[in-house]
Amino acid sequence: MSLFSAQEQQVFTNLVADIQHRQDDRELHWLVSSVILPEFPQIIEALKICSNLLMFNSPQQPDPSNKIQKGPAIKLPVSSGTQDNLKGIIVRDGAFVTEFTINVKDHYLNKVFHKLRLKEPVLLEQVINANSAIDAAIMLINQLSQFTDVEELDHDVTHTKLIDEFQRLLSSIQTAKTNLQLPTDPALVFPEKVTHGQYFEPELPNTISIDFYLNQAEICVDLKSLSKVTEKPWGDIDPHTGQSYVDKVRDQMKLPPSSANSIRGTGQKFSSSEVSSVASATPSIPSGKDENVGKLFPEHDSHDNHEAGSFFNNMMSHISLKPKHDAQDYITRCITYNQMVVMIKTKIEVSSEDPVLVSCFTKLDSIEYLITNFLHSLRNLVG
């Protein structure tokens, strides 16, 4: 038999919970005022250094009054390595690629150029996006600094807001890091991003694509030679939706556009039954006898004419009427690009590590680790 009634036990339980809540509350206030807030100035300073590295190639922001100048542009070599089919240099100045000069040895690309030079700066939008995320993080830290008088406010509301603000801060840091790691926006790369051929010398045709982007703190260049698909209906594009015939076929096959149009796709093959059931409008190969065969071979009798006609039809079908690719090739290889349907004939990918971007990424990684630990501790205390 219990020494306490149910009501007394409940009162005791509530008392213990209240004591624990008050203790957690005191620990949270101590954590914020004595541990987290003192770190904010150093975190802000590190974030400003990251921003300056991205935009000005230097830890310090340019200040003519104090004779502080912008850092020098970052000049990097680019090479395809042992294959030796591309060599040159690339220069990044802040958020722009300002110079790009290469020599190329490639069967398809050499039909257009052997040496290529960038005439106009190209914006690296990932640098802009990363810098915007850093600016957002600095603003959030300044807002979090206002939690110094947290003891006098509504605890539950304030604690919830504190957690939310720290989560937003962590998300901003992670966004900045991610933009230095890979292009998450499809609009930044092929096939959604269209190359401006007039930016280069010689001017590039619309069947040459060049992408500049960041990947793992490296500046990457993807150079592609494309062949335009003209065979019907595979090369058709709906003027109202911008979708190609192949896009619509893929939609019917439930193939995700991202994997269908990915330049690094798996090259997944489909069974002939799947292709046949969907691609019902596959270009047909004319068959049957040519009415003019008899005129072409007048000296032969009807039997000979029939054999000659069959031979002639087969030969012509093989030479000029057979599609370049089968339905499976069209579905797996066609890409909608710049209001065209294309296939990639050749592709060269090169990259070069940018030491300034590496330094920026390392600092962001350390800040992310620190903020993650703060957030974990706060959540443990708030419950």
The DSSP line for 192-219 is TSPP-GGGEESPPPTTEEEEEEEETTEE
Contacts of 162 (CB under 8 A, 6+ apart): 32, 144, 147, 150, 378, 382
Examine the pLDDT at 6 and tell me if it is beyond 70.
Answer: no
pLDDT grade for 173, boundaries at 50, 70 and 90: very high
Residue 24 lies in a domain: yes
Mean pLDDT score, 71-78: 95
Q: Are 350 and 86 in contact (CB under 8 A)?
A: yes
- Residue 276 falls inside a structural domain: no
Please state the pTM of the whole predicted model. Answer: 0.76
Domain-embedded: residue 33: yes
How far apart (Å, rounded) are the C-alpha atoms in residues 99 and 57? 16
Task: Categorise residue 242: left if φ over 0, alpha if ψ from -120 to 50, beta otherwise.
Answer: left
* Tokens, residue 179: 């933009």
State the pLDDT at residue 380: 82
Average pLDDT score over residue span 183-191: 94
Residue 323 inside a domain? The answer is no
pLDDT of residue 64: 81
pLDDT at 148: 55
Give Dmax (Cα) for the chain: 123
Query: What is the token pair recorded at 13?
Result: 């339980």
- Whether residue 87 contacts residue 101, with contact meaning beta carbons closer than 8 Å, is answered with no
CA distances from 242 to 74, 238, 248, 344 (A): 39, 5, 11, 20
Would strands 340-353 and 218-228 be described as parallel, antiparallel, or unpaired?
Answer: antiparallel
Residue 83 DSSP class: G
- Residue 211 has phi, psi (to 5 degrees) of -115, 135
Which residues are bridge partners to 266 per DSSP? none
221 close to 214: Cβ distance less than 8 angstroms: no
pLDDT at 270: 37
**Helical (H) or strand (E) element with 95:** none
Report, as an integer, the average pLDDT of 7-23. 55
Task: Tokens 């260049």: give the residue.
Answer: 221
Structure confidence at residue 14 as a pLDDT band (50, 70, 90)? low
Please state the rounded mean pLDDT for residues 48-61.
95
DSSP state of 320: I
Q: Count of domains in the chain?
A: 1
pLDDT score at 58:
93
User: Hunting for tokens 């062949």 — which residue is that?
Assistant: 227
Q: Is residue 310 part of a domain?
A: no
More confident residue, 7 or 75: 75
Q: What is the pLDDT of residue 28?
A: 76
Is 24 or 277 the better-scoring residue by pLDDT? Answer: 24
> Which DSSP string do the residues of 288-337 spell out, in sequence order?
S--TTHHHHSTTS-HHHHHHHHHHHHHHHIIIIIS-SS-HHHHHHH-EEE
Residue 112 belongs to what domain range? 6-59+71-205+351-381
Give the pLDDT score at 112. Answer: 95
In tens, the pLDDT along 228-258 reads 999 999 999 999 998 999 999 988 887 555 4
Give domain status of residue 217, yes or no.
no
Mean pLDDT along residues 253-276: 43
Q: Give the integer Cα–Cα distance in Å for 218 and 358.
A: 8
Q: Considering the chain, what is the average pLDDT of its residues?
A: 80
Residue 316 falls inside a structural domain: no
State phi, psi for 32 to the nearest 5 degrees: -65, -50
Percent of all residues in the chain with a pLDDT value above 90, rounded to a whole number: 56
Question: Is 221 within a domain?
Answer: no
The Cα 104–Cα 346 span in angstroms is 12
Is residue 362 pLDDT above 80, yes or no? Answer: yes
Q: What is the pLDDT of residue 292?
A: 37
3-state secondary structure of 336: strand
> Residue 55's pLDDT is what?
96
pLDDT band, residue 266 (cuts 50/70/90): very low
| Nearest by Cα to 29 from 150, 144, 143 | 150
CA separation for the pair 39, 6 (Å, rounded) = 48
- Omega before 257 within 30 of 0, i.e. cis: no
